[in-house]
Chains A and B, each alone.
Chain A
């Protein structure tokens, strides 16, 4: 029956077309996979926390001293990549040639983002320390570092009597 044959062919093509259209949604990764740890600078003035800007700040990771993450910039906050292959990352902050090492300890876990984007590392902060040559102390505000856009994870406090701005 000729009409049945044409019916078969038409329906076959209809399936092919539908399948082609529905599978055309093979997406690219359309989001940022940024999972940097945010460090904001504060000083205590008359008992209250005040945002602080550090001028002429340079930062590098202790494991990669030849690559500067920040090069002589004025910053109120910085965003740094934690090492996903180790359980600790040490960052060296250089302010007016005085060096302070900030040490962050954490545990790591893989986290699924999406099929086009894949996975990222999710960090759970266990400890944060400073070497006290510039910074008074460090406080962990948010112990989870995952996908984020300029989120504040740590607060670095400058000593009140000797703030950089007074120099």
Chain B
């Protein structure tokens, strides 16, 4: 993480110095919905092969420096082991807003880089089941029973987000963010522990910290002529 901060700081310095050379003719701010997806979900494929995580998000600059944001995603987990087979799947949705702390420092309205902080409110609905359960018994011998049939649950939590987003190419953004999550309400299954809650993390925890990396594209809908320089 230290390297990321170093490179980010360097990038920031470069942007700030680079902006001094921007032509003053460009005084229009492009506004439009930005759609992105979380690349870190793909990384999980390598680390935990039985897990499929898909996520997409969108945001929109409603006021200077304030973005409304929403996310959706899906998580499927499958874990087959000797003792029992476990599978779960579910969806999540998040809604919130981000504030761009960098806005004040940008010398041109045509700059969209962000160092932001934000809040999210999130909810997930998911189901899980256990099958092919083997109970060990040294004396009577191991034997298999049916397992726990599919059970559906909900969970709700809040998130505090902080991150960086940079316009790498025209309308194409790259960014990373760190999230601190706090569980508000989590439905539990007394017969089987939840392994992962979609969009949150480990089912047994009530707080979670995660890191995301995303690629996004902004559809340039409107150009707002600006009389004053922000």
Contacts and interface: CB of A to CB of B under 8 A. Distances in A.
B7 interface: yes
A84 to B, nearest CB: 6
B47 A120 contact: no
B74 interface: no
Interface in B156-203: 166, 168, 174, 176, 191-193, 195
A23 interface: yes
Interface in A1-34: 1, 3-4, 6-8, 10-12, 14-16, 18-20, 23, 33
Given A81-B139, A118-B84, A119-B135, A112 B192 contact: yes
Interface of A is mostly: mixed
A84 B174 contact: no
Interface of B is mostly: mixed
B83 A117 contact: yes
A81 B137 CA distance: 9
B39 interface: yes
Nearest to A112: B192
A3 B3 contact: no
A103 to B, nearest CB: 17
A67 B3 CA distance: 64
Interface residues of A, number: 34
Interface in A102-151: 110, 112, 114-115, 117-121
Given A3-B7, A12-B43, A84 B14 contact: no
Interface in B1-52: 1, 3-4, 7-8, 10-11, 14, 39-40, 43-44, 46-48
A115 B14 contact: no
15 contacts: A3-B11, A4-B174, A11-B176, A15-B212, A19-B44, A20-B47, A61-B139, A81-B139, A81-B140, A84-B137, A110-B147, A118-B83, A119-B83, A119-B84, A119-B133
Interface of A: 1, 3-4, 6-8, 10-12, 14-16, 18-20, 23, 33, 61, 64, 67, 69, 81, 83-85, 110, 112, 114-115, 117-121
